[in-house]
Amino acid sequence: MSNNFLTDDFLLHTPMARTLYHEHAKGMPIYDYHCHLPVDEIASNRSFENLTQVWLSGDHYKWRAMRANGVSERLITGVASDWDKFEAWAATVPDTLRNPLYHWTHMELKRPFGVTTLLGPDTARDVYDTCGAMLQQPEFSTRGLFKQMNVKVVCTTDDPVDSLEHHIAMRSGDDFGTKVYPAFRPDMGMAVDRPEAFNAWVDRLEVASGIDCTDFDSYMNALRQRHDFFHEQGCRLSDHGLERAYADDFTAKEIADIFDRVRSGSVLAEGDVHKFWSCMLLEFARMDAAKGWVQQFHMGALRGVNTRLLNQLGPDTGFDSIGDFEMAKPLGAFLDKLDQTNELTKTILYNLNPRDNDLFATMIGDFQDGSVPGKMQYGSGWWFLDQKTGMIDQLNSLSNMGLLSRFIGMLTDSRSFLSYPRHEYFRRILCGLLGEDVANGELPDDVEMLGAMVRNICWENAVGYFDMDV
């Protein structure tokens, strides 16, 4: 690796930045309160045969870059061998310069593998073999990687119909140093715009809950039963993937009729779909509030844009983009409906379109009520925004419009067990930003005050915010 690339002081350009990172941020544990890691692989303590399995499988960030570089789908998600896929990725890496993948790739080789070689066609075989040999060691299993990266809490993403069998097994097993909790992701419970998929999911809900969903009331009873079950298994947060919030007016009779029609296979008009979504968002939020959960809303993704490749490869394979939906008015109305009845629980809002940064940062301020420090959170840079510019812009918007000091910090939002250097990336960017302010005379040269703020953002604020044992 070149002498000035990815050194110990990477992204730390001032003395204060270096002090804040090395003495305050670097050693803090990781609280990963939102990810898509496969829980069965944590429960079984899976070991990986090679870098392709642990690094490329399911990573649509890398897949998009490879497609842009002219790589055949056979070498991305197709039937090619693990080595051929890795070789194709290694050949792509030199062409990712200035894409965050170039940073992440080499950070993930450096930690946990200790590999400082720049990845490219000429180094691919050596890197593959070196890391492959390490992956056979116990400290490179899923749980071993958690320990190496000092990951203390992981919240997976789980469908309400999931059995949570792997979570239950881990809760009754030996303590391996990382607490793993489920998170309630009920997106399919709103999917009345896709009657066939929704009805198949309701059939699964009936089996999971033991309740026949003959009408909307019994449907809600089944969902509440699953919400109760998740709570019993340690779940304390929900997550919702939405284009935007919905707050249309509706009556109980309208919702009951909409449910009956979609269960009979009818295709709904857009207005009825939006009424049902508005109802379900309120119902899920009220369940969360009654139990003191945290609710998360990821908003702004335009999904499945490429119909041909979506049909060929399925969802979450790299064919989604930033959307430009109306945000402020429906989001404000939704949160206000909950606040009026004192049913607005702790809430994290994530935007995908950077135009909405200040909008979201000001929206949380409308509903801070003094009951909990940082009750309303403007979530970290998400998906297309979890890169250097996106993180800095999110930190600046939150600083300008709210209290950065109450921020609960970074998450991985990843399907890869090698993604934890993203927390290091965030921490370096945070410390770099504060260090520059000190150098410019915009913040006091007070390492104790700033160091406490950094430790809080990296770990302590999340510990206090989420009602989960660490």
> What letter does residue 316 receive in the DSSP assignment?
S
- Residue at 430: amino acid letter: L
Low-confidence ranges of the chain (pLDDT < 50): none
pLDDT, position 101: 97
pLDDT, position 3: 77
Residue 179: strand pairing partners: 153
ω into 112 cis (within 30 of 0): yes
Show the tokens assigned to 283.
């119902």
pLDDT, position 233: 97
The whole-angstrom distance between residue 462's C-alpha and the CA centroid of its chain comes to: 15
What is the per-residue pLDDT across 168-215, written as a single tens digit (0 to 9) for each? 999 999 899 999 999 999 999 999 999 999 999 999 999 999 999 999
Residue 227: strand pairing partners: none
pLDDT, position 143: 98
Q: 3-state DSSP call for residue 221?
A: helix
Q: 3-state DSSP call for residue 158?
A: strand
Distance CA 448, CA 454 (A): 10
Positions of E strands within 249-302: 294-299, 301-302
| Nearest residue to 191 via CA among 159, 215, 232 | 159
pLDDT, position 114: 97
Distances (CA, A) of 369 to 281, 288, 346: 21, 18, 11
Taking the whole predicted model, whether its pTM rises above 0.85 is answered as yes
Distance CA 96, CA 274 (A): 40
pLDDT, position 1: 58
